Chains A and B, each alone.
Chain A
Amino acid sequence: MSQQITDTSPSTLELAKLLGLSSTEYQHVCQSLKRAPNYAELSIFSAMFSEHCSYKSSKKFFKRFPTQGKRVIQGPGENAGILDIGEGWAVAFKMESHNHPSFIEPYQGAATGVGGILRDIFTMGARPIASMNALCFGSLDYERTSSIVNGVVKGIGDYGNCVGVPTVAGQTFFHPCYTRNPLVNAFTLGIVKSNEIYLGYAKGIGNTVVYVGAKTGRDGVHGATMASKEFSIEKELERPTVQVGDPFTEKLLLEATLEAMKAGVIVGIQDMGAAGLTSSSFEMAHRAKTGLEINLDKIPTRESGMAAFELLLSESQERMLLVTSPDKVDSLKRIYEKWDLHAEEIGTVISGNRIQMTKAEKIVVDLPVELVTEPLMAERASSPPVDLKQRWFLDRNRMLVATLNSKFQTLMEEINFANPEKLISQYDSMVGNRTLGSSQDDAAVIRIREMGEKEIRLAVKADCNPRVSWLWPREGGRRAVAECAMNLAVRGSEPIGITDCLNFGSPENPEVMWQFCESIEGISESCDALKIPVVSGNVSFYNETDGKPIYPTPMIGMVGIIEDKLALPHSNFYSTQLELALIGPIEGGLGGSLMASSWFKRECGQPEETDLAMLERMLKFCQRLRKKKLTYAAHDISDGGLVCSLLEMAFHSPYDCTGIDLHIPSEIDVDKFLFGETIPRIVLAYDPIEQVDIENTASQAGVKFTHIGNTNDLSAMNIRQGGAQVLSAHIPDLKAKWTQKWNKFFR
């Protein structure tokens, strides 16, 4: 960009295109304004019309999502969604991506991703009490993968640990499609009194606009535009657009903001996230149908000589924009000063729907709010891939001729079957003293202490199966929700709602657009069946490098509730004398399974469609079982099939000598029994005395019960069919391999 351009220089189409606007969008702006926008204004349009801020390719498809329900207090469109959990309390939650920055600068990219989602939650008046993350990393052959993994994990840990919000669960997935587009999706849940929720409204003509938190620097200028482009190799040089996080300031901002809310000195508030001051000011005015006057000279800066466009687009972290009545400004300032933070009055709420910004007593921005906040929607073509049917071909014969042992050994080598301990022990999972169980359970369970006598518990889980999504996006969407629900169910919880983080390639690619629409349909079908709403979400497009998109990755974050005080089921082999049962179909589908991918070194086969009616029955079964107060362990069957679920239960057993004896019913396809991944299937392990009760509960709920074996103290897994041994393995050896697998890329 040439040096002569200043904030008030008139723009040109060339300049607009350089900042990512289409000629249609630029003409629309010029016609509406009846003039060309100046450079500062053009920067505003550039950020707000970016895919990242405008959802211009995706917005219309969200209508499909079910968003209603008796618990819904706040649906999509705010900083986070809010659900009623009873007794005057509610939970706010959301998941967001920070993918592009995490590839450029893994540590800061991931750290600021956590910071952003925490602010989205406490902006609403909710105290963050639990975080999760869903991470997708690329090929281990790529030299940077190890440093990306380490940087991302350390970034998440350092930020969340310092602020004091426990990281209670997560998902980590490795696949070459993420090599240059790693995914970092961060989820946070907060708790708030239902009548003390704050929203991003710039309400009340004459009210004061206040800037609080860290000072503004040049970091992240044009960050939203960056997140709306695909990567090319040269983009690795875009380092300066990544922001730097300061979790200590965030902690102060969190405490000060919640204290100010409690004191009743805030009217409306919004985090300065993507597109910083621009998005927060325009969105707050838009929601309240007001206008704003802002004096840019008042913005606290940490660099001198910043132009208006830089002040407007800076994505410096740990900043909030809020609106208060003039008589409360002093009290507000005192609270922030107590926490060593600065609050600065920068403007006023005015009538009329315009935002005017001045710098050095000159108007540099004068725009109608709606022109900025209601961008033209993009019409994107959508078409399924031509080779879909080829993808669905699974060479069953090649599998059948191989020995079971060779297939099993291949699966045990799989990078996605590994102990995540090295990673999750870097996160404080217990601060707040609410976390029950371990971060390795199917879902995390946290207690809510705020309700006094009526202590309830919540369960959270993030999940997505990118292999299935690539093969069949609709089933991928369906399954992401179904999997989360199953993970919650085996921990004894019923789902109450979801947030989503939709990670895709470029929407300009018709195949990606088809994947996107199909995923939304799948997610909606599952939500309809479970009668749960989608209350918040985020879309991350342009996750592609040099024309190669990532696998469609519709990540789901689900929240569930446990309203009684009954004990939680075990999730491991808590004894060496347990009976084992498979609940659900005896055989699982191999299409899209981890086994098929490991064996054929590519994704193949048609994933079996999730039976949503059976899913409902299965959730009911899990609930009834828990209410019978039986002693048992339950674990969901997903990646790697039944055999991996059984091994995980053994690996987490307190007894190193735990062994498994498994009998496969005759006439059953061994591969499908052991490695199939149809949803819903679960493993139960229980004391022999409980068998009749469990069997009856299953038959009443309408789910299939099959006794498949027992645990022992012989340290081995022995699998038999019709009396003949078909597989034998030493469990401690398998555990050692499982435990050490990720060591190579953790320092």
Chain B
Amino acid sequence: MKAGVITFPGSNCDDDVVDSLKKVGGFDVERLWHKDTPDLSSFALVVLPGGFSYGDYLRCGAMAARSPIMEKVKNFSSKGGFVLGICNGFQILCESGLLPGALARNLSLNFICKDVTVKIETVETPWTRSTEKNTTLTLPIAHGEGRFVIDNDGYEELVKNSQIVLTYQNNPNGSTHNIAGVCNKNNNVFGLMPHPERATDLRIHDGLKIWSSLKIQLGLHS
């Protein structure tokens, strides 16, 4: 069971995700290129890493959402494959319709890089099952366009289906209802603005809880 990490032009957290999944998470990791259309059936997990795909010049994630590999990713997710989008990867998932909502410019209009505290809203997902509900994680954020927006109906839908996975304790960017991470109805696609891969083996370590949840889900945990 492999994890695939996609590199889009402008991805800049791909190395960090590969490194963390491999060295700290103990995953078998393969790199994927956005122009390719690989057979993903041997993969358990596909990660869309952070960065500035296509420079974020049109709309964050809009161009990357139309990369050749994204058709394969959609197909993969429709069959239940696990898809994780971090930061720019979250934006790409929203732009490609795999996740609801959109990410807009931070209320402050500034890029913000700092550690934030996020609350676990549900443990009934493959991404949080090794955590406890209402506990918090400390994870870094680094984004200029991380304000999650969704209309009221969409929000009701998220609540009804328990799709809100993480919320900010001190909302840094003006996200609707403090949302920091959401998943799809089937829980197999997850997007979040904080960077778990930057919190696995250096200053802080709460990102490991997401990796270990996944390993339990995939039956990889010893």
What would 7 more interface pairs be, CB under 8 Å, given A251-B52, A340-B9, A433-B202? A164-B52, A252-B10, A426-B111, A431-B12, A434-B202, A436-B203, A447-B202
Interface membership of B186, Cβ < 8 A: no
Instruction: Take A426-B111, A431-B16 as given contacts and tell me if A164 and B51 are in contact as well, using a CB distance cutoff of 8 Å.
Output: yes
User: Least Cβ distance of A185 to chain B in Å?
Assistant: 21
The interface bits of chain B over 2-20 (1 if a CB of A lies within 8 angstroms of the residue's CB, else 0) are 0000000110110110011
CA distance A28 to B153 in the complex (A): 78
When distances are taken between beta carbons in the complex, the residues of chain B under 8 Å from A338 are 35
A162 touches B202 (CB 8 A): no
| Chain B residues, CB < 8 A from A163 | 12
The 10 residue pairs across chains A and B that have the minimum distance between CB atoms: A164-B12, A248-B55, A433-B16, A162-B52, A428-B142, A428-B113, A426-B111, A433-B198, A430-B198, A157-B111
Indicate with 1 or 0, residue by residue over B161-203, a CB within 8 angstroms of chain A CB atoms.
Answer: 0000000000000000000000000000000000101100011
Contact (A431, B142) CB under 8 Å given A161-B52, A251-B10, A251-B52: yes
With beta carbons under 8 angstroms apart, the residue of A164, A249, A434 that contacts B13 is A164
Are A430 and B10 interface neighbours, CB within 8 A? no
Residue B140 CB within 8 A of the other chain: yes
Cβ of B155 < 8 Å from any Cβ of A? no
Q: Does A76 sit within 8 A of B, measured CB to CB?
A: no
CA–CA, A248 and B203, complex, Å: 29
Give which listed residue, B10, B35, B110, B197, contacts A433 with CB less than 8 A: B197
Closest B residue to A254 by beta carbon equals B12
Residues of A within 8 A of B109 (CB): 747
Out of B19, B20, B111, B195, name the residue touching A430 (CB < 8 Å): B195
Q: Are B202 and A431 in contact (CB under 8 A)?
A: no
List the A side residues contacting B10 at CB < 8 Å.
Answer: 162, 248, 251-252
Interface residues of A (CB under 8 A from B): 154, 157-158, 161-164, 246-249, 251-252, 338-340, 425-437, 447, 449, 747
Q: How far is the CB of A619 from chain B (nearest CB, A)?
A: 26
A449 (CB) vs chain B CBs: closest residue: B19
Contact B52 A248 (CB under 8 A): yes
CB distance from A396 to the nearest CB of B (A): 44
Within 8 A of A (CB), among B34-78: 35, 50-52, 54-57
Asked if B57 and A248 sit within 8 Å, CB to CB, the answer is: yes
For B160, what are the chain A residues with a Cβ–Cβ distance below 8 Å? Answer: none
Report if B221 contacts A (CB, 8 A): no
Q: Which residue of A lies closest to B17 (CB)?
A: A433
Closest to A437 in B: B203
B114 at the A interface (CB under 8 A): yes
Q: Which residues of A contact B216 (CB under 8 A)?
A: none
Q: Which residue of B lies closest to A165 (CB)?
A: B12
B84, chain A: closest CB distance, angstroms: 16
Q: List 27 A-B residue pairs with CB atoms under 8 Å apart, sorted by A's residue number.
A: A161-B142, A161-B144, A162-B10, A162-B52, A163-B12, A164-B13, A164-B52, A247-B55, A248-B54, A248-B55, A249-B55, A252-B9, A252-B10, A426-B110, A427-B111, A428-B113, A428-B142, A430-B140, A430-B195, A431-B12, A431-B50, A431-B198, A432-B15, A433-B16, A433-B20, A449-B19, A747-B109
Among the interface residues B13, B35, B50, which one has the most CB atoms of the partner chain A within 10 A?
B13
Contact with A along B66-108 (1 / 0, CB 8 A): 0000000000000000000000000000000000000000000
